[in-house]
Structure 1
Amino acid sequence: MSSSIEVDGRHRTYTVVGEHEGPAGRPLVLVFHGSRQTGRVFRRFTGGAFDALAGTAVVAYLDGYRGNWNDARRESSFPARTEGVDDVAFTRAVVRELAASHGVDPGRVHAVGYSNGGQMVLRLLHETPGLLAGAVVVGATLPAPGSLLLPSPAPAPVPLPVLVVHGTGDRVVPYGGGPVPGWVRLLFKVGGANLSAAQTAEHLARRNGITRPPRSRRLAAPAHPARTRAGRRTRPWVEQTDHVETGRPPVRLLTVHGGGHTVPGPGRPPFVLGRTTRDVSVAEVAAELFDLTPRE
């Protein structure tokens, strides 16, 4: 169901998957697409994987302004950033609308973001503590301190579970962090520098008050690690790193070794973005991590 709303003098749109009628207090999953996408494109990009969450939650695919979100990167120069689009207000407005129309619980709002959408979720985590009950960040890492825009003074963090997913072969947002590649600056109008995926997970774990070292294990491993062998590339494999501590919400990093700028799961993104693993599904991991089931 397509919906629209006026926010800050702009006509904004989003698509809702899930029935109006349902158990009171259902969770809400907000999905933020990547650069130059829409919610509809992202649904196709991911093979509709997140639609499956509508069995127990309401899922809303939000549409960015002219294909982008006004994220927290200082050097972003696409229209959503240069025109000061209030995507935080848009997010809050969608939550209010769906609380009224679908009976979702405003205290059980989860956000999933890919690429520029992942950067938007990172902004929400830092700027709107208490708005989200859980977050998924795919193909995005935290801007380096000099590139991160935060309100001053920055609000105190509210701990919540977070899933970070990133491919080591990501050429758009390098897994190891550092300066944004030149061709990415030109094509997507972003700049500055980013932390690595591991540093992003560590930062989020510290915000949750986790001080214990993380634990890592290999998931769904094929016979051999992803590498070139006799001119042929083997499939990606997934490493799970958990930041956990008793009484603290967990932070999980899924490292897709050999994976590209893609969303693990059933989707078939363009080959230019790199390889996608289907050994795990981000949607399924999120459902488990956030316990996306109705409450009595």
Structure 2
Amino acid sequence: MRSTVTAAGRTRSFTVVGDADGPEDRALVLVFHGSRQNGEIHRRFTGGALDHLADDGRAVVAYLDGHRGNWNDARAESSFPARLEQVDDVAFARAVVDSVLRSHRIDPRRVIGVGYSNGGQMIFRLIHDAPDLLAGAVIVAATMPDRAGFLGPFSEDVAEHPIPVTLVAGTADRIVPYKGGRMAWWARALFKVGGVALSAPATAEYFARRNGITAPPMTRMFPTSPGTRRRPRMDEATYCEPGHSPVTLYTVRGGGHAIPGPKKAPGVLGRTGVDRPIETLVLEVLARDGSA
């Protein structure tokens, strides 16, 4: 269902997948696409993987459309139209939640943010600027800007509203370096962003500290599944302590700027992991929040 809302004086669009009349305890999954995409393009990009959450009644899924293909995330060195025009995407996210709450039966306490690349950076902004909005987050192919490059309230103190956070990062991502630092010059020019980013492990550690977790992560490598021998292996590092929302980093060994799942990303973006598909990661976040 294609819908529009007015947020901060702008008419914005999004697509909702899921029956209007369903269980009252359903989650709402807000999906934020990558640069130069929109909600429908991103939906095809993943093969509609997240639609399965709506098919079995576990969630309603909303694919949001960025302004001219981008989100006004919290990276200080951005110059795409959403930043230059100071588009209020935080207000847009809130308006979508309010709209879906009126049109569908959902639990507003179970809003999960899913973001890819620029959309993942938008999730970072929501976690910091709208901490009451999300009950959990899944972030793919994005790492936190460093303190100097983050417009939001960068803080390693324990957050007032800690949430489960799952991160997915490829070690061979040519756009977002797994080890952190600056993006390659061509990526900075193509996507109109700059600044220095934390590594993927340091990003996970940052959110673990915000969640009050001091213990080192527990790690495991997933066994090779039948028919996936030539696909990149994924391993898991989970930061967890009793009474604290966990943080998990899935590392895709040899993986690129891709969303894990059966649908391969275009070759230019690199290899795709399959051990933990994106819809499984969302369900894990819901379960870890005690909601599934």
Question: What range is the shorter-chain TM-score in?
Answer: over 0.9
Is 1:262 aligned to residue 265 of structure 2? no
- Gaps of at least 5 residues in structure 2 are none
TM-score (norm 2): 0.93
Q: CA deviation at 1:278?
A: 2.0
Q: 1:294 to 1:15 in 2, by over 3 A?
A: farther
| Distance verdict in 2 for CA 1:163–1:295, change over 3 Å | closer
TM-score if structure 1 supplies the norm length?
0.92
Q: 1:203 to 1:155 in 2, by over 3 A?
A: closer
Describe the shift of the 1:273–1:290 C-alpha distance in structure 2 as closer, same or farther (beyond 3 A): same
Distance (Å, rounded) in 1 between the aligned partners of 2:263 and 2:241: 33
Question: What CA RMSD, in Å, does the superposition of the two structures yield over aligned residues?
Answer: 2.3
Identity %: 56
* Structure 2: distance between partners of 1:100 and 1:26: 14
Distance 1:157 1:220 in 2: 37
How many residue pairs get aligned? The number is 287
Deviations 1:178-213 (A, max 9, x none): 012111110000000100010000000111100001
The residue aligned with 2:98 is 96
Give the stretch that moved more between structures: 76-85 or 22-31. Answer: 22-31
Say whether 1:8 aligns with 2:4.
no
Counterpart in the other structure of 2:177: 174
Over 3 Å counting, the alpha-carbon distance change for 1:202 and 1:138 in structure 2 is: same
Gaps of at least 5 residues in structure 1 are 227-233
Q: Retained in 2: the 8 A contact 1:236–1:276?
A: yes
| Pick aligned residue for 2:202 from 190, 199, 204 | 199
Query: How far apart, CA to CA, are the structure 1 residues paired with 2:84 and 2:19?
Result: 37
Q: Which of 255, 274, 286 is matched with 2:282 structurally?
A: 286
Counterparts of residues 61-100 of structure 1 (less than 5 Å):
61-100=63-102
Alignment of 1:143-292 (within 5 A): 143-151=145-153, 156-221=159-224, 234-291=230-287
Cα distance in 2, alignment partners of residues 164 and 152 from structure 1: 18
Q: Counterpart in 2 of 1:42?
A: 42
Matched, 1:32 2:19: no
1:46 partner letter: T
Q: Output the CA distance in 1 between the equivalents of 2:79 and 2:160.
A: 28
Contact kept? 1:138, 1:164, Cα under 8 Å: yes
User: Deviation string for 1:45-78 (max 9, x for gaps)?
Assistant: 1111101111211000000000000000000100
**What amino acid is the match of 2:76?**
R
The structure-2 alpha-carbon separation of the partners of 1:292 and 1:246, relative to structure 1 and needing over 3 Å to count, comes to closer
Cα shift at 1:279: 2.6
Letter in 2 for 1:211: T
Q: 1:295 to 1:29 in 2, by over 3 A?
A: same
Give per-residue Cα distances to partners, 1:122-181, cap 9 Å, x unaligned: 111111112100000000000011100115999954111110001000000011100121
Instruction: Tell whether the 8 Å contact from 1:26 to 1:295 is kept in structure 2 after alignment.
Output: no
> What is the CA distance between 1:87 and its match in structure 2?
0.1
SS in 1 for 2:52: helix
Provide the C-alpha distance between the structure 2 equivalents of 1:197 and 1:179, rounded to a whole number of angstroms. Answer: 13
Query: What secondary structure sits across from 2:108 in the alignment?
Result: strand
For 2:53 and 2:115, the matched residues in 1 are separated by 15
Which structure carries more strand by proportion? 1
Counterparts of 1:99 and 1:155, CA distance in 2 = 30
Write the distance in 1 (CA, Å) between the matches of 2:27 and 2:147.
33
